[in-house]
Amino acid sequence: KKVSAEVGKDQVFKEVQTIFDTVIAAEQALKEAKIVFVVGGPGSGKGTQCANIVKDFGFCHLSSGDLLRDEVKLGSERGKRLNAIMERGELVPMEEVLGLLKNAIISNLTKTKCFLIDGYPRELVQGLQFENEIAVCNSVLYFDVSDETMTARLLERGKNSGRVDDNEATIKKRLETFHNQTKPVIAYYKSFGKVKKISAERG
């Protein structure tokens, strides 16, 4: 936060107080948030089902992928860097995604305290860092689908989506990433009884 120090010291301190009051209030509000992680491989239908949950239960749906793509659309240097990573099918650095998610949660806290975090965490350290820096995860929805079905869905979607990550080579890489890095997330939260597994093979 930028504070003009050209004015008197009392005025400067008032501005500093306002900033800290805002930060403290946001951190307090975050403690009341109810967090549901939504995980599953690419093309498992997470986004579609999240839309239904929002409609029926009033949750705020935050997609890490959508937040990243919105950043890419801005055309900034940061967006170009993120786009290159996504085109390769690699995971975006944790700090980048955490910052986007935290800002999005804080900006929606006046509307709801319940959040669906779609497509995050992608690896265990991300989940632990999220809980350490933002809020505790209350539950995990895991959409279970075969690789064959996910690949077919993504290739079909790629015909019209224009998304850089909906091509066969990148899909294969994304599935490998899911199995190697996201499956341990599911195992970890399952040990705490927080995972709800849903078969999403059909529909």
- Please write down the HEC assignment for all residues of the chain: CCCCCCCCHHHHHHHHHHHHHHHHHHHHHHHCCEEEEEEECCCCCHHHHHHHHHHHHCCEEEEHHHHHHHHHHCCCHHHHHHHHHHHCCCCCCHHHHHHHHHHHHHHHCCCCCEEEEECCCCCHHHHHHHHHHCCCEEEEEEEECCHHHHHHHHHHHHHHHCCCCCCHHHHHHHHHHHHHHHHHHHHHHHCCCCEEEEECCCC
Residues of the chain with pLDDT under 70: 1-26, 161-166, 203
Residue 59: left (phi > 0), alpha (psi -120 to 50), or beta?
beta
Question: What's the confidence (pLDDT) of residue 160?
Answer: 72
What would the two tokens of residue 194 be?
């927080």
Question: What's the confidence (pLDDT) of residue 92?
Answer: 84
Question: What's the confidence (pLDDT) of residue 3?
Answer: 42
Question: What's the confidence (pLDDT) of residue 135?
Answer: 92
What would the two tokens of residue 63 be?
């997609």
pLDDT digits (tens, 9 = 90+) for 7-36: 566 666 666 566 555 656 667 778 888 999
pTM for the model: 0.75
Question: What's the confidence (pLDDT) of residue 203?
Answer: 56
Tokens 């709800």 belong to: 196
Query: Could you give the angle at the alpha carbon of 162 between the alpha carbons of 161 and 164, nearest 5°?
Result: 115
The answer to whether 67 and 100 have CB atoms below 8 angstroms apart is yes
CA neighbor of 144 nearest in space, from 202, 199, 203: 199
